[in-house]
Amino acid sequence: MKIFVTGAGGFIGGSIATGLLKAGHQITGLVRSAEQARALEQLGIATRVGTLDDRELLIAEARAADAVINAASSDHAGAVEALIEGLAGSNKPFLHTSGSSIVGDASGGDTASDVIYDEAHLPVPTADKAARVAIDNRVLASADQGVRSAVLCNTLIYGNGGALSRESVQLPRLINQARKSGVVRHVGRGANIWSNVHIDDVVALYRLALEKAPAGTFYFVENGEASFRQMSTAIAHAMHLGEPQDWPLEAAIAEWDYEMASYGLGSNSRVRADRARKQLGWAPQHSSVLDWIAREVH
Task: Let me know if residue 249 belongs to a domain.
Answer: no
What does the pLDDT profile of the chain (298 residues) look like in tens digits? Answer: 999 999 999 999 999 999 999 999 999 999 999 999 999 999 999 999 999 999 999 999 999 999 999 999 999 999 999 999 999 999 999 999 999 999 999 899 999 999 999 999 999 999 989 999 999 999 999 999 999 999 999 999 999 987 787 789 999 999 999 999 999 999 999 999 999 999 999 999 999 999 999 999 999 999 999 999 999 999 999 999 999 999 999 999 999 999 999 999 999 999 999 999 999 999 999 989 999 999 999 9
Task: Let me know if residue 295 belongs to a domain.
Answer: no
Task: Let me know if residue 147 belongs to a domain.
Answer: yes
Residue 264's nearest CA partner among 117, 133, 157, 111 is 157
Residues in the chain: 298
Residue 238 is predicted with a pLDDT of 98
> Which helix (H) or strand (E) segment is 42 a member of?
helix 34-42
- Round to whole Å and give the CA distance between 118 and 160: 27
Complete edge-to-edge strand list for the sheet that includes strand 2-6 = 46-49, 26-31, 2-6, 67-70, 93-99, 148-154, 217-221
Residue 163 is predicted with a pLDDT of 77
Strands 193-198 and 225-227: antiparallel
- Round to whole Å and give the CA distance between 138 and 85: 12
Task: Let me know if residue 264 belongs to a domain.
Answer: no
Task: Let me know if residue 21 belongs to a domain.
Answer: yes
Residue 161 is predicted with a pLDDT of 85
Residue 219's nearest CA partner among 137, 154, 286 is 154
Strand partners, 92: none
- Rg of the Cα trace of the chain? 19
- Round to whole Å and give the CA distance between 176 and 157: 16
DSSP state of 271: B
DSSP state of 124: P
Q: Taking phi first (over 0 means left), then psi (-120 to 50 degrees means alpha), and beta for anything else, what does residue 169 get?
A: alpha
Question: What is the pTM assigned to this prediction?
Answer: 0.97
- Round to whole Å and give the CA distance between 79 and 165: 22
Residue 165 is predicted with a pLDDT of 79
| Structural domain for 95, as ranges | 2-104+116-158+197-222
- Round to whole Å and give the CA distance between 61 and 59: 6
Task: Let me know if residue 269 belongs to a domain.
Answer: no
Annotate 210-250 with DSSP letters as a single string.
HHHPPTTEEEEE-S-EEEHHHHHHHHHHHTT----EEE-HH
Residue 193 is predicted with a pLDDT of 98
> Which helix (H) or strand (E) segment is 17 a member of?
helix 11-22
Residue 204's nearest CA partner among 284, 279, 98, 274 is 284
Task: Let me know if residue 72 belongs to a domain.
Answer: yes
Residue 202 is predicted with a pLDDT of 98
Report the CATH number that the domain containing residue 123 is assigned in CATH. 3.40.50.720
Task: Let me know if residue 60 belongs to a domain.
Answer: yes
Q: Where are the beta strands (DSSP E) in the chain?
A: 2-6, 26-31, 46-49, 67-70, 93-99, 148-154, 156-158, 185-187, 193-198, 217-221, 225-227, 245-247
Structural domain count, the chain: 1
Residue 164 is predicted with a pLDDT of 80
